[in-house]
Each structure stands twice: as structure tokens, then as C-alpha cells.
Amino acid sequence: MTNKKIKPKLSVEQIKNGLEKCKGNVTACAVSLGCSRKQIYVWFQKHPELVEFREDCENEILDLAESKLAQQINEGNMTAIIFLLKTKGRKRGYVERIEQETSGQLKLSGAPVIQFDSKNGKK
């Protein structure tokens, strides 16, 4: 007897079902199908439509998470409100920034510095 793992014969449809069930999580899909993650990735290479299907599954779970976040915001959950403002509200200034000041001299080593006059286009 050998210790080699027997790879199950899988179909594209079985892999799609596994990906859908596991929301695009490759490890969970592989476990549910009784195969390795590597085998799933080999299928992705042979069948690019599976990669797109996986992305769709991942987007569905993201959509669900966003709707749950919106629900929490509607219920007045301050943590959810702050999270949304820090992530999606950046353009409006809702961001935490760390400002750092340094002092001292800056030394450059390596290539020589070449000055360029942008008005005349000369070095």
C-alpha cells in the first residue's frame, strides 16, 4: 500500500457549488470537496470562468457585509459609523493621520546630484 492521497474526480459544476457554499474561500471549498487547495488552483488555471465565479462569490459576501454595516449605522452603532467615515469618508476629511516632523541634515550617498534648470532646460 502507498501513502499517496487519491485525488477525487471533480467537475466544474462541483467546484462552483463548493465555491458558492464557501463564499469563494478556496481552503473551505477544498475541504468540503475533499481535495487540496492546490487542486482548486489547478482548476482555476484550466477553467478561467471559475476564477470569475469565485470573484462573484466573494463580492456577494462583501455586499452582505456592507448591508449589515448599513443596518448597524441605521441603528446608531457608533463604532460602525466611525468605521464607515474612516474608510469611505476619507475624501471628506474623515481620516486619522499621523504627522511626523524630523530635524537634522539629510545626507545622500551614491549617485551624484545633478542640478537641472527647468526654465532653460539645462543641467
**pLDDT tens digits, one per residue of 24-81:** 999 999 999 999 999 999 999 999 999 999 999 999 999 999 999 999 999 999 999 9
Residues 6+ apart with CB under 8 A from 19: 26, 29, 50, 53, 54, 57
> Does the pLDDT value for residue 115 go beyond 90?
no
Q: What whole-number distance in Å separates Cα of residue 49 and Cα of residue 59?
A: 15
Any domain includes 116: no
Q: Which domain holds residue 37?
A: 12-92
Please give the grid coordinates belonging to residue 58: 466573494
Looking at residue 40, its amino acid is I
Q: How confident is the model at residue 110 (pLDDT cuts 50, 70, 90)?
A: confident
**In this structure, what are the phi and psi dihedrals at residue 47, rounded to the nearest 5 degrees?**
-135, 85
Any domain includes 107: no
Grid cell 456577494 in the structure block, residue: 60
Any domain includes 59: yes
CA-based end-to-end distance of the chain: 76
Distance of CA 5 to the CA centre of its chain: 31
Any domain includes 87: yes
Please give the grid coordinates belonging to residue 1: 500500500
Query: What is the average pLDDT value for the chain, to the nearest integer?
Result: 88
Any domain includes 69: yes
Any domain includes 122: no
Any domain includes 82: yes
> Does the pLDDT value for residue 112 go beyond 80?
no
Q: How many domains does the chain have?
A: 1
